[in-house]
Amino acid sequence: MAFSVARRAAAVPYLLVNGTYRKSTRSYIDSSILQYQLRRLNTHGSLKGSHAHSRSTLEVPIFWFIHTDPLLVDKHYQAKALSDMVIVVQSEPSSWESHLQCNGKSLLWDLRRPIKPALAAVSEHLAGLLPLQLVYSHAHGTAIEDWIWSVGCNPFSIISQGWQISKFQSDTIARSYIISTLEESIKLVNSAMHLLLWERTSILFLWLFHNPIDLGFMLLQLKFVDQVNATIALLHPIHCTKDRKVQVEFDATTIPAFLIVLGILYLVLKPRRPKPKIN
């Protein structure tokens, strides 16, 4: 149903090798509409499965649509990475003339085997890798297309047919994961330390820390935030069970403050005389 609602058709003009323009009617899927419909159809509010909240597993929802006639995503793509999913379309033609040209010839796409665009879209979703022709322009302050850099036989070069990821791109993906992991770890440790800062120290806590080696090893494990929350949960009952006395410090302003509070309570709570009824 989401596929049917997201189906669109449009006339797309493109420039031929001989310098003339041509207009072709393309059937495509609107990615924003498809994403919205898939989110609505999901009763759990998330497109991911049971391992969505696991730190050791990363799930990528991939929706692969198979159609007989030529079908694209957003008029120009065989696959596209979104914020929470990857969309791939597969059609029957194995040699389809695209809107791109190289060396005086039109580039032919294999719509029957969209492995290369699917790998590129998944890599973009996982690690933010973009097509090689997209570069940053300091003069314009935005991304532009520079086709000089679209080289190599890999999924990110549109003018090539290869789909093997190079070692440089694998290293880039690994670097992206390392940076993301470090940033997440810093945020988690800082949030846990912020919770510990609110806990008051007391001599009654010494029985919890009688073995500092075990405690240090416990806090250095991967479940640092969980162990901090467990430690805080152990510290809180101490204030109520171990220390039953309420210590009040008296100074020159304590007695007048008590007298003022008692006076206000007397005025508010004193019994009132019943008024006589007059007929």
Cα–Cα distance measured from residue 28 to residue 8, given in angstroms and rounded to the nearest whole number: 5
Whether 175 shows a pLDDT value over 60: the answer reads yes
| pLDDT tens for each residue of 42-57 | 766 556 666 666 666 7
pLDDT recorded at residue 218: 47
Cα–Cα distance measured from residue 175 to residue 159, given in angstroms and rounded to the nearest whole number: 26
Cα–Cα distance measured from residue 279 to residue 261, given in angstroms and rounded to the nearest whole number: 40
Reduced to 3 states (helix: H, G, I; strand: E, B; else coil), residue 73 is: strand
pLDDT recorded at residue 246: 52
What band does 116 get if pLDDT is binned at 50, 70 and 90? very high
Cα–Cα distance measured from residue 85 to residue 64, given in angstroms and rounded to the nearest whole number: 11
pLDDT recorded at residue 244: 53
Q: What is the mean pLDDT of residues 182-202?
A: 79
Cα–Cα distance measured from residue 258 to residue 24, given in angstroms and rounded to the nearest whole number: 87
Whether 13 shows a pLDDT value over 60: the answer reads yes
Whether 12 shows a pLDDT value over 80: the answer reads yes
| Top-confidence range, 6-20, 108-122, 176-190, 220-234 | 108-122
What band does 216 get if pLDDT is binned at 50, 70 and 90? very low
Q: What is the mean pLDDT of residues 239-260?
A: 62
pLDDT recorded at residue 222: 54
* In contact, 63 and 31? CB cutoff 8 Å: no
Q: Is the pTM here over 0.75, yes or no?
A: no
Residue 228 or residue 186, greater confidence: 186
Cα–Cα distance measured from residue 257 to residue 45, given in angstroms and rounded to the nearest whole number: 55
Cα–Cα distance measured from residue 93 to residue 111, given in angstroms and rounded to the nearest whole number: 6
What band does 152 get if pLDDT is binned at 50, 70 and 90? confident
Least confident span in 157-171, 187-201, 236-250:
236-250
Least confident span in 118-132, 166-180, 240-254:
240-254
Proportion of the chain above pLDDT 90, given as a percent: 22
